[in-house]
């Protein structure tokens, strides 16, 4: 006859074995899931590393774009007859070559670093470009324009400062003698700070209105943003300094005007104030060189 106690003990042992089996099965499933998650994480990590390496390699082998012609100093030098001084395009990693002021002091050297979205820059240029134009034409003054893109993030996401400076570089490269009028046109009807700025199509229309003849090449240059990288580098150089041929260490805002290396700090809306500053700088140059210079009067 079977002992009831033996039967109960057998049932307990069987239940314990089943419970242990279930625990082992559950643990095995957890182990498999963890291994899958771990291997998946490793794969994702490896893919991320591969992607980063690929970006670095592509960036490294991407062909560099040289800077624009006629802007070896990071600026456009406009002289007698409103003609632009010709310079070759520099390699993308080359350092700019500072322009050389007239050693005899017979020509007043004016350099303007300006952002096309900057209102103060527009105030100065609208006030003074007209009175400077005849002086540049007759050779009494040279004006070196340095387009910078400091307000790139101030145009509702359109990067207008960068696009406008790129357009200016395109004009300097392909049709330099239209640069003076194009530069003036960008300030004549200047978009407001904080707004979207002008579209690329409007920039191209202003190129045409400036009398450019090689508009198809300039249009494609604007569409491609061909010199945007160069504009950014040139802007960084102006912001980090030093500023060549002057005691100014670096740009501290979106406008810097130098007359014979001396910074202009007067009214931006008074043509008479700026004219007086130019005459004073010319007189100082005469005192230091002893060479008479043409009087820069319109």
Torsion over CA of 103, 104, 110 and 111, rounded to 10 degrees? Answer: 0
Q: Are residues 54 and 166 in the same domain?
A: no
* Helix (H) / strand (E) containing 257: strand 255-259
Q: Total structural domains in the chain?
A: 2
Q: Are residues 98 and 226 in the same domain?
A: yes
Q: What is the CATH number of the domain that holds 191?
A: 3.40.30.10
Q: Are residues 14 and 140 in the same domain?
A: no
Q: Are residues 207 and 260 in the same domain?
A: yes
Q: Are residues 96 and 48 in the same domain?
A: no
CA distance linking residue 2 with residue 77, whole number of Å: 115
Is 292 part of any domain?
Answer: no
Is 249 part of any domain?
Answer: yes
Q: Are residues 94 and 192 in the same domain?
A: yes
Q: Are residues 51 and 129 in the same domain?
A: no
CA distance linking residue 46 with residue 55, whole number of Å: 14
The label of the residue with tokens 């392909």 reads 174
Is 4 part of any domain?
Answer: no
Domain containing residue 20: 10-61
Is 1 part of any domain?
Answer: no
CA distance linking residue 75 with residue 55, whole number of Å: 32
Q: Are residues 96 and 155 in the same domain?
A: yes
Per-residue pLDDT of the chain (298 residues; tens, 9 = 90+): 555 555 666 666 776 677 777 778 888 888 877 777 666 655 445 445 445 444 334 344 444 679 999 999 999 999 999 999 999 999 988 999 999 988 877 899 999 999 999 999 999 999 999 999 999 999 999 999 999 999 999 999 999 999 999 999 999 999 999 999 999 999 998 999 999 999 999 999 999 999 999 999 999 999 999 999 999 999 999 999 999 999 999 999 999 999 999 999 999 999 999 999 999 988 876 565 554 444 454 4
Q: Are residues 197 and 244 in the same domain?
A: yes
Q: Are residues 105 and 14 in the same domain?
A: no
Confidence (pTM): 0.76
């Amino acid at each position: 006859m079977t002992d009831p106690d033996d039967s109960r003990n057998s049932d307990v042992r069987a239940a314990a074995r089943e419970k242990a089996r279930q625990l082992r099965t559950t643990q095995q499933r957890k182990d498999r899931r963890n291994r899958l998650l771990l291997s998946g994480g490793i794969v994702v990590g490896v893919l991320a590393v591969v992607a980063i390496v690929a970006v670095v390699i592509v960036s490294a082998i991407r062909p560099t774009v040289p800077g624009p012609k006629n802007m070896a100093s990071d600026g456009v030098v406009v002289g007698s007859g409103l003609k632009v001084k010709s310079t070759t395009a520099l390699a993308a990693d080359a350092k700019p070559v500072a322009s050389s002021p007239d050693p005899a002091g017979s020509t007043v050297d004016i350099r303007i670093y300006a952002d096309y979205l900057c209102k103060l820059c527009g105030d100065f240029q609208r006030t003074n470009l007209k009175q400077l134009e005849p002086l540049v034409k007759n050779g009494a003054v040279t004006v070196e324009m340095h387009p910078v893109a400091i307000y790139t993030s101030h145009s509702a996401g359109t990067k207008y400062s960068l696009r406008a400076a790129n357009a200016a570089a395109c004009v300097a490269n392909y049709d330099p003698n239209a640069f003076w009028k194009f530069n003036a046109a960008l300030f004549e009807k200047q978009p407001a700070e904080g707004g979207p700025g002008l579209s690329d199509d409007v920039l191209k229309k202003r190129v045409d209105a400036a009398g450019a003849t090689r508009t198809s090449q300039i249009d494609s240059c604007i569409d491609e943003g061909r010199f945007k990288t160069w504009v950014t580098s040139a802007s960084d150089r102006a912001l980090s300094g030093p500023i060549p041929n002057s005691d100014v260490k670096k740009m501290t805002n979106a406008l810097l005007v130098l007359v014979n290396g001396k910074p202009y700090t007067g009214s931006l809306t008074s043509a008479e104030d700026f004219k007086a500053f130019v005459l004073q700088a010319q007189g100082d140059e005469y005192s230091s060189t002893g060479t008479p210079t043409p009087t820069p009067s319109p």
